[in-house]
Amino acid sequence: MKMTGNYRQGIERFIPSPAEAVVLATLLFFTWYLYGGTGNDVFAGLSTFIVVAIAWVLGVAIRVALNDMRWWLLVIALLLVMAPWLALNTFQIAVMTEVLVFSLLLHGLNVVTGLTGQMSLGHGALVGLSAYAVAILVDHWDWPLLPAMAAAVALTFAFGFALGIPALRLAGPYLAIATVAAALVFPLVLKLDSVQDYTGGVQGLRLHKQPQPPGFIGGFLENESIAKIPEQKKFAPEEVQVKERQKFAQATYLYFLCFGVAAIGTFAAWNLQRSRFGRAFIAVRDAEVAATSMGVNTALYKVTAFGISALYAGIAGALLYMVVAFVAPESFDLFNLSINPIAYLVIGGLAAPGGAMVGAFGYKWGPEVIKKIARTDTDFDKLQGALTGLMLIVVMTRMPQGVWGSLTRLNSFSWKALINETKAWVLSRTIAYWLAIALGVAVVIAIGAWFAPVWGVFAAGLLVVAPQDAWAGVFLWLRSLPAIGRRRAPAPGDAR
Amino acid sequence: METFFDQLAIGASTGALYALLALALVFIFRATDIVNFAQGEMAMFNTYIGWSISRPLSFSWIPFLSIERHINILNWHPEVFGIPLFLGSESDGSTRLGYLLIVIGTVAIAFVMGGLIERLIIRPSEGKNLLNAVIVTLGIFAIVNSIANWRYGPVPQNYPAPFKGNAVDFGLFKLGQHSLFALIVGVAMMFAIYVFFQRTKLGLAVRAAALNPQASELMGINTGQMLTLGWSLAAAIGCLAGMLVAPSVAGISPNLMLGVLLYAFAAAVLGGLDSALGAVVGGLAVGIGQTMVVQYIGSEWSDIVAFGLIIGILMVKPTGIFGSPVVKKV
Amino acid sequence: MLEVKNIRAAYGPVTALHDISLSVPEGQIVTVLGANGAGKSTTLRVISGLLRPSAGTVLFEGRPIHGKPADWIVRQRICHVPEGRQIFATLTVEANLSLGAYTRRDKPGIKADLQRVFDYFPRLAERRNQVAGTLSGGEQQMLAIGRALMARPRLLLLDEPSLGLAPLVVRDIFKIIRTINEEDRVTILLIEQDAKLALSVASYGYVLETGRVVVNEPAADLARNETVRKSYLGY
Ligand SMILES: Nc1ncnc2c1ncn2[C@@H]1O[C@H](COP(=O)(O)OP(=O)(O)OP(=O)(O)O)[C@@H](O)[C@H]1O
Ligand SMILES: [Mg+2]
């Protein structure tokens, strides 16, 4: 990821590029969000300032020194390591743990959908399969946790290979339908009377003994946890405080277990994509028939892709059960089974390990942020799906390379160019156009549709993140609206 | 034996509704190669719009336009073929739209919404990659589902139906009035669709635009408009199905069409995803099969059987009974 | 009737036409010759609106038509019979023909034209209810021409009507092309690989080479032109 182009020279190199600004703004928002809950504004403000300032200085310094944008990865890795200390309470650590777990699922889905171009809408069920396998082995047959997890991963892996075989016969939309059906049947089967003894029916299964941090690590983490004890419990009886400390130690321990696995998984995914295998997968996606006639064994690669991706999903499922200590059929509704994995993978960015990480982050934190907003309007909570869908559509139509892809491209883009571009566009509009827009905004505000501006600002934000051609795309799109749109006839030879 | 024929009739009636939604799926698939996962949700939302306009009219927030007052003062009772357009004053003095007006209004709104979705959302994502367009329909699904939950809440609401009386006895079997109505409307719609596509110039043009867009342009067909028309029609048909489904279940709720969409998918896959005839045959078969499974095996199996059917058919014969074979291109 | 002036056109990064100018006088048959990939089909695609030119103008009866959508151009009664026929394979012969008359509203006129097409091509009349994809190649070409005639064109753009046909069938088709031109007063712009045949019916000819017009002469002169004879007529 060497920087391309020489947009920034001289003093401009020390100003964050638009991409870096986006990263810093995100950081700012989340640090503020994390510390905002302490009720201590001075503390929150100061911490936020310090974190962002350090990231800025570190990031820009490394970039200027190395002329390389790999500093991001460094900063991100550093922040991830520090996450348990940055987090305010045990719950936030747990959410971060789930981010890591979910990133594994997205890496797996990426192999099938991003690289091989097969549309799978059923990966949530593979996670569920693995989680349930662990749960049943532990709960019903009293297996120890670790072998149970290994067995579950192996089972899911094998199942993934089996899934790949029908995928050989099915093209695009047919595969999507088949996988969605296979996924939706999963929670129904769990609830059947005949298997209730094993699956616990709607009640689900609970893990009674989560792994404990071994002695010295546990002691260290418990010591570290003192700052994490909530204000109101600081003066609670000793045993309550001890419990809080143990909870922190436990959560942090699980976090680092998952961190290790996710780090290996991400590294493997990154390597896979650059390997011979990865290129063969992409060949299958881009020109299946041509690849076949060139001697690529497409069937083998497709099945392998499914296997690898099921391996990832299986690991994610086993970890999920370990972390959450609970599975029930309700966790596997249509959204969790089918829509969210693919949606957040696409939003994060297909065919890039970074995209899977960004997607996982959005998947877990998006709802939390919405819940926070929803404190003033509880019904707002229900709009989570709408947020997901909106982001998905904006990304699909305006920036198909996803947030990650846009970020990496935006870095070779200077403020000056952005400003000039925007200025040129603004000037090219007539005054009547701006009056109409202003009128529209006024009407929206006047009729009290307060949520519309929120969405609008959000969508606009996404577009700011989008690269140059996405801007152009939006303008072209807006301009084409008044005309009765036409479809461009396909090029000769590809008539359906 | 009597229950068997009763179930057969009920199955045919639900099957007709599945067939309608499956037809909507098939239209869009034929025209654009897109599997519209949002079909059911679009229908659900439009059905909710029908529900909103079926409630007592109140335009008091618009000055000088209090419809209820006008209608009551003039004592105006317009009718079409003996069907009242407005239902007379209720005990609280309010006026409601009659069923006919509700249907016309809702279907018109659905028609416009379908076209808008195609123009504003589907078209910008078209052409790059079929995967994109299918994922976009999932996005529409998520948005519509969650807005319906947010706006209308999860509690099922009563839905107006024109006929609610006792079952009609046909000797061999009995069928509830609403089911009979749904069956008749469903069959009539299928006939209308058949006539539209087989006997009218516009219908022929829609088919041609789906078959070969470039050649259609050379015939003077605006293929873009045909696509929009296809989505509009699909939305309208789906909406009609939704309006018939809602009274026959507990009422309208945001999950109204999830199950129906599943069975419609089973129907479409069974008949062949690109075959209109297949959608009809598949819809009836799935509807009858579902009632039989519920009656003789157990209701918790009915969804599982439907999913199994989808997967099984796709594995054994992906083109279904009437579908045309898929050709892979270099 | 048709004036093409200094057209440039490209498929993405590939420029197919560099500078094409040609004119088609009313009531005549004009032919365009050239090697494979010279840009003949692309020229027709620009005229019929399937491809937007990046520069230049196309005037039809003095009015600009370049950049207009294809369906609008069809309504000016310019009909394009594309390379490779592009019939609607799963529709019947009759449905294909009635799609040809999509832009027309006059029922009796359409009926008369249908009869006329069947007179030209009796084989289509026999197979009117057959699915078009099952027709033989020659029949499909007849259908493609007949379909274009159903729009009652004033200018007909024919792209290689003899492609893949037996010599006897080719002769029939060319006889009909001449009839269409003479009796129905349809102006024709003809692309043809068989230069000799094309020059025998045309009154004027253009030769394209890699997106440029290299020769333009009356057909009779063109047939005698040394270079044309060598490279296209083969003697
Ligand atoms: N859809 C397309 N995309 C990219 N390039 C194209 C496309 N169609 C044609 N071309 C290129 O444009 C040039 C002109 O093509 P055109 O089809 O006009 O040739 P032609 O003279 O009709 O040849 P032929 O006699 O083989 O039909 C060729 O070099 C061809 O490769
Ligand atoms: Mg050609």
- pLDDT category at A367 given cuts 50, 70, 90 is confident
- pLDDT category at A492 given cuts 50, 70, 90 is very low
- pLDDT category at A2 given cuts 50, 70, 90 is very low
Question: Quick check: B325 pLDDT over 70?
Answer: no
Q: How far is B90 from chain A (nearest CA, A)?
A: 31
Ligand in closest contact with the CA of C33: 1
- A371-405 residue pLDDT tens: 766 555 566 677 788 888 888 887 887 677 888 77
- A181-213 residue pLDDT tens: 888 888 888 888 888 888 888 888 888 888 888
- C127-150 residue pLDDT tens: 989 999 888 888 899 899 999 999
- pLDDT category at A299 given cuts 50, 70, 90 is confident
Query: CB pairs below 8 Å between B and C: how many?
Result: 64
Domain count within chain B: 1
Please indicate whether, in this complex, the C-beta atoms of A487 and B213 are within 8 angstroms of each other. Answer: yes
Q: Which residue has the higher pLDDT, B110 or A87?
A: B110
Interface test with B, best of C73, C76, C99 (most B CBs within 10 A): C99
- pLDDT category at A97 given cuts 50, 70, 90 is very high
What is the per-residue pLDDT for B85? Answer: 65
- pLDDT category at A449 given cuts 50, 70, 90 is very low
- pLDDT category at B176 given cuts 50, 70, 90 is confident
Q: Which amino acid is at C17?
A: L
Q: What is the CATH number of domain A88-374?
A: 1.10.3470
Question: Quick check: B330 pLDDT over 90?
Answer: no
Lowest mean pLDDT across A58-67, A333-342, B265-274: A58-67
Interface test with B, best of C52, C88, C111 (most B CBs within 10 A): C88
Q: Which residue has the higher pLDDT, A73 or A128?
A: A128
B323 dihedral zone (left: phi>0; alpha: psi -120 to 50; beta): beta
CA gap B280, B16 in Å, rounded: 7
Interface test with A, best of B36, B314, B326, B327 (most A CBs within 10 A): B314
Assess C35–B contact: CB distance below 8 Å, yes or no: no
- C88-114 residue pLDDT tens: 988 899 999 999 999 988 889 999 999
Q: List the single residue in C with minimal CA-CA distance to B210.
A: C88
Q: pTM of the full predicted structure?
A: 0.81
What is the per-residue pLDDT for B303? Answer: 85
Phi first, then psi: give them for residue C218, nearest 5 degrees: -55, 150
- C58-74 residue pLDDT tens: 999 989 998 888 989 99
Return the ligand 1 atom nearest residue C43 CA: 18
Tell me what the pLDDT averaged over chain B comes to: 82
Cα(C37) to centroid of ligand 1, in Å? 5
Ligand in closest contact with the CA of C232: 1
Question: Quick check: A5 pLDDT over 80?
Answer: no
What is the per-residue pLDDT for A45? Answer: 65
What is the per-residue pLDDT for A261? Answer: 95
What is the per-residue pLDDT for A7? Answer: 47
What is the per-residue pLDDT for B76? Answer: 57
Question: Quick check: B326 pLDDT over 70?
Answer: no
- Burial pattern B249-284, b for ≥16 Cβ within 10 A else e, equals eeebbbbbbbbbbbbbbbbbbbbbbbbbebbbbbbb
Please indicate whether, in this complex, the C-beta atoms of C74 and B220 are within 8 angstroms of each other. Answer: yes
C51 lines ligand 1 (CB under 6 A): no
Instruction: Report percent pLDDT > 90 for chain A.
Output: 15
Range of the domain at B162: 2-54+98-316
- B275-293 residue pLDDT tens: 888 899 999 999 999 999 9
C228 lines ligand 1 (CB under 6 A): no
Which tokens belong to A205? 């299964």
Q: Using DSSP, state whether B101 is helix, strand or coil.
A: helix
Q: Which residue has the higher pLDDT, A426 or A275?
A: A275
List for chain B the helix, strand, coil content (%; round to 5): 70, 5, 30
Question: Quick check: A260 pLDDT over 90?
Answer: yes
Name the most confidently modeled range: A10-19, A70-79, A105-114, B154-163: A105-114
Mean pLDDT, range A154-177, rounded to an integer? 85
Lowest mean pLDDT across A264-268, A375-379, A484-488, B263-267: A484-488
Mean pLDDT, range C19-23, rounded to an integer? 91
Ligand in closest contact with the CA of C43: 1
Please indicate whether, in this complex, the C-beta atoms of B131 and A178 are within 8 angstroms of each other. Answer: no
CB B284 within 8 A of CB B19: yes
Closest partner residue to A486 (CB to CB) among C11, C69, C86 is: C69
In a domain, B309, yes or no: yes
Residues from chain B that touch C103, judged by Cβ atoms under 8 A, are 219-220
Return the ligand 1 atom nearest residue C193 CA: 25
C36 lines ligand 1 (CB under 6 A): yes
Residues from chain C that touch A486, judged by Cβ atoms under 8 A, are 69
Q: How far is B330 from chain C (nearest CA, A)?
A: 18
Return the ligand 1 atom nearest residue A493 CA: 1
DSSP letters along chain C, please?
-EEEEEEEEEETTEEEEEEEEEEE-TT-EEEEEE-TTSSHHHHHHHHTTSS--SEEEEEETTEE-TTS-HHHHHHTTEEEE-TT----TTSBHHHHHHHHTTT---HHHHHHHHHHHHHH-HHHHHTTTSBGGGS-HHHHHHHHHHHHHTT--SEEEEE-TTTT--HHHHHHHHHHHHHHHHHS--EEEEE-S-HHHHHHH-SEEEEEETTEEEEEEEHHHHHH-HHHIIIII--
Domain boundaries, chain A: 10-80, 88-374
In a domain, B23, yes or no: yes
Ligand 1 pocket test: pick from C15, C40, C192, C206 the residue with the most ligand atoms within 8 Å of its Cβ: C40
Mean pLDDT, range A238-256, rounded to an integer? 84
Residues from chain B that touch A121, judged by Cβ atoms under 8 A, are 138
Assess B208–A contact: CB distance below 8 Å, yes or no: no
Please indicate whether, in this complex, the C-beta atoms of B139 and A178 are within 8 angstroms of each other. Answer: no
Q: Which residue has the higher pLDDT, C95 or A26?
A: C95
